[in-house]
Structure 1
């Protein structure tokens, strides 16, 4: 039976904050400070592209939050949504600049009702994000972008989520 203890965040509503990230093999979370969080579904692709490019030119750490909404999209639907939106948001962003980016996959559905297959769904979504970065840029650049899971995760499934090579960490509560 699943418990209510979780190790992941409150929602990321503010645009500037600090993030605590737990990575595989680490005892304590890593702190990333002075972040500017941009949410993919909150703005038009053109507006978000402008905000991302502006943030990349400044001193703030750019964090792009991906949320597929309240629905549990199939991997095919998620890949289509991701491809369409992320490609437009990253238009004109150089390889060197995108390597500074932190992507947080934080689906709204993750806080409502957890299903046994959700750890696999999380791993698939992270792989699809990394694969799209490989298509847009290249293998090396895709590997440099940090992709963090920012949704609800039970302690019991944390190791299962973190063992995937496409999941660079899990966002923690403060």
Structure 2
């Protein structure tokens, strides 16, 4: 039984320390002691330390939205896993569509980041997904398999099982509505099939796949009703601590019934 998980990324929406601290306090008060759902939060880069000091007293893990492809060195402006570990962080969002498109991150670079994270006991939250909306599921599976092959290159099955795969189709990220539950269920099944073909069935059964892309309390029940959806990656619809907490509760109840 895979442990269900809910994560939230604040992108660059909360950049002031007081606002970030207030939000983190609100989340901790609502679901900071939740034991049945694994949780992580990726605050904005400028407020990581302030948020880390609040999360360390809770069961919510600290994550970052990006890491450097090496532990240290001459990489001006980058963020090291050394700093994340020092702040007791344990998750790193890697390969988000905005990093791939706006900042031109290649699969080779993403692969380096995943390997650095794993080597330093950081859980990679590897974002994958198609850019253009399509109902050609054979095409989607080929794309997912290609992304996984490149992003997990030279990573063995035991290591791959530690990765959290976040299916985030670009056409649903930041939009008014999420991908349909039917689409999410189908693609998650295909991703698990792709992992089986790249590794083996055991790895595919262990790896967790979550959905991200306009996740809200309203659409979460249907999205997480499928056995291949292990949780959700929340964005702007979780910026209210109570709405975020309701998503956590929905996922918990759905997986308790499973």
**TM-score interval, smaller chain:** 0.7 to 0.9
Deviations 1:67-110 (A, max 9, x none): 322x2122233212212221121121011111110111122322
Match of 1:45 among 107, 117, 129: 107
Q: CA 1:27 to 1:171, structure 2 compared with 1: closer, same or farther past 3 Å?
A: farther
- TM-score, scaled to structure 1: 0.75
Do the aligned residues in 2 keep the contact of 1:40 with 1:67 (CA within 8 Å)? Answer: no
Describe how 1:124-139 pairs up with structure 2 within 5 A: 124-139=186-201
Aligned residues: 156
Unaligned runs of 5+ in 2: 1-5, 13-23, 28-33, 41-60, 62-88, 240-258
Flag as ranges the 4+ runs of structure 1 deviating above 3 A.
7-13, 26-29, 153-157
Q: Comparing both chains, which one has the higher relative contact order based on Cα–Cα distances under 8 Å and sequence gaps of 6 or more?
A: 1
Give 3-state SS (helix, strand or coil) of 2:133's partner.
Answer: coil
- TM-score, scaled to structure 2: 0.53
Q: In the aligned structure 2, how far is the partner of 1:81 from the partner of 1:56?
A: 24
Select the structure that is richer in helix: 2
* RMSD over aligned Cα atoms: 2.9
Q: Tell me what 2:134 maps to.
A: 73
Q: Tell me what 2:39 maps to.
A: 31
Unaligned runs of 5+ in 1: 1-6, 21-25
Q: After TM superposition, give the deviation of residue 155 of structure 1 in Å.
A: 3.2
Compare CA radii of gyration and give the structure with the larger one: 2
Select the structure that is richer in strand: 1
Match of 2:177 among 114, 120, 129: 114
